[in-house]
Structure 1
Amino acid sequence: AEGEIQEVVLVHEDITDQREAEQERRKAEEKYRSIFENAVEGIFQTTLEGQFLTANPAMARMFGYESPEELLEAISNIRDQLYVDLGRREEFYRVASRDGFVSGFEIHLRRKDGSSVWVSANARAVYDAGGEISGYEGTVEDITERKRAEEALREIREAERRRIARELHDVVLQDLAYALQSMQVLKRMPDGADRASETDGQIEALKRAVGGLRDAIYDLRLEGERERPLIRAVESIVALNRQIGEGCEFELIVDEGFPAEISGPAGVEVVRVVQEALANVRRHSGAGRAVVTLGMVDGEVLVEIEDDGRGFGPETAYGMGLTGMRERVLVLGGRLEVEGREGVGTRVFLRVRLAVLTGGEAGDLSNT
């Protein structure tokens, strides 16, 4: 009849795959958003002209801003507003244009309050449809503490060089000059004069000079150790202490499986810690025995220097030697423990990730 439904045609489409794909897309977006919002490193996107497009909360905090929105609103020109050294921005452009990316690119930048922050950037160039660079995206890590530690380490090394020069001039050179003058006096003394006291003075002066030269050689010896394996360098330092450490027995124990491939500037810093610890044993502890142990557990290199000397009490002030050791370990991202008890001895314990010592992590120490 007219107006009545005669036939119904149903058309259906299976959209299960579409809905599942949509759900997967949402999950991926939520995962990315969680990573972006909660990452410890700063994450950013910028235009080629140097304006932020996006930044995560860690990026904002790194520069002293309360939120990414405040950062994006405040910074309209990254080069002029953030870079301490404008030449580094030009270098960033040059490397990114040539290679399409930058890796471990260190930059000194300004914070909101006028203070500065050192960052290490990993970024890639973003290209438009025409194949031209339209911007950059990547991550930055705050390395301010590491840079401070490296600067402190440079100052410590310079202080060490000045100390060695001063001791050579004020002690060794003076003793040698005295011995020479005494010999000249002795040569002019008449026959029958008592020369014994003059000769004794010469012998004592020459002994002091030899000791001073030996200590200087000991302190400078590591300058040529950069390419030697860590084990060989520590063996050399222990052997040298056996020669000059009268009255103290020095022993080296290397645990089975200790990696033989460790070398380079990071390994040298570990050897310097061993060197300073053994120098303290010789000069201050009065120990009869000192043991250096090299081991590895769970991807960490362990170094222990233990002696049976006089130890120290809780009121003992830390000197330049221990300060230097702590700064070296800080640069390596490791941990240093120093324990001592009066009349019992001292234990110095160092742990550093193997990846740092083999070049897999941390900064370049070649210029420190």
Structure 2
Amino acid sequence: MMKEEPIADQKQYLRWHLVESVTSALPKAFGDEEFRFTKVLSGAKQPQPRWRRAFAATDGSLGEAFGQLYVDEDFSPAAKARAKALVENLRVAYAERIQSTEWMSAATKAEALKKLNAFVVKIGYPDKWKDYSALKVNRESALNNLFAAAEWSTKDNLSKFGKPVDRTVWGMTPPTVNAYYNASLNEIVFPAGILQPPFYDPKADDAVNYGGIGAVIGHEMTHGFDDQGRKVDSQGNLRDWWTKEDGEKFMAKADVVGKQFDAFTPLDSVHVNGKLTMGENLADLGGLTIAYAAFMKTPQAKAGKLIDGFTPEQRFFLNFAQIWRVNMRPETLRQQVQTDPHSPGQFRTIGPLQNMPEFHKAFSCKEGDKMVRPASNRAKIW
């Protein structure tokens, strides 16, 4: 491309990318024009308020310094300890499910357990914060601050070249409302930002927390065994550790989930793409299954007492539904279905639950109800 495209076009392309990357710090006309473009893709009616954009810019450029303030204010050591205990309870439940799985051979089970037990768990914030002392910012120019932050970040990245892999590094900032599984490091990571309601509340009962953050923890664990994570071993190496027969059985089970999601239509003629969303759908189903198994070991689940008129099982599933509650404009929904490996929130809720006999029992669903898939089409992996 560098040889074939006219130099003038290449310069214009680079100019555009430079301007587009710093629009937030340019005169209002640039921001207005960018929003006009955003409206077409997302259907948004007005830009984000200035304070939100300021927070996002600070998180993007000074994420761990910003994160220290957030953690000091909103994430206690007790909250971290309870979240850590939740993870370990799910790890135990996952091991039991792997051991009792009928379709897996003993050799593959041994490798799966080895990988599960090797998961590195990161919760809340890094043990060692980034040192931003070399980054100079001032009140004279927001644009120059963005350039300085980009330069600092590039140098920070290049400083790692040729050195051993730093396994303490985080791929998200502490205030981020998200979580991730990193296959090459075999780690599951839960920033402080997601460890708040509706996902997690250290003061809430177990049904709420296992149905919320428990399902997210199980989701990230299951990424280690989804259609992509299953190709990586306990040390993060790209290696097929499955027997041929077990791999084929797994993919046959995954195809059932793919067909289920292919049939979902969020609007007009738009269908969810079961292949594109496969890994996330498998993680949602596996995560919810494991979280429920772990919850059933708790004293609350065993006692069976009603709270607000709901059984422990019902409260578990209600909070699972709450974590994916979302409103989206049609334009955003259409874009998500075409480009995002995550299914829309409503199907992240409905899809796994349609496959779960435990949900059907909790809410007295019958064969033939919309939330009950026929047994012959029901997906079950873990």
> For this structure pair, what is the TM-score category when the shorter chain's length is used for normalisation?
under 0.3
Q: TM-score, normalised by structure 2?
A: 0.25
More strand by share: 1
Q: TM-score, normalised by structure 1?
A: 0.26
More relative contact order, 1 or 2 (CA 8 Å, 6+ apart): 2
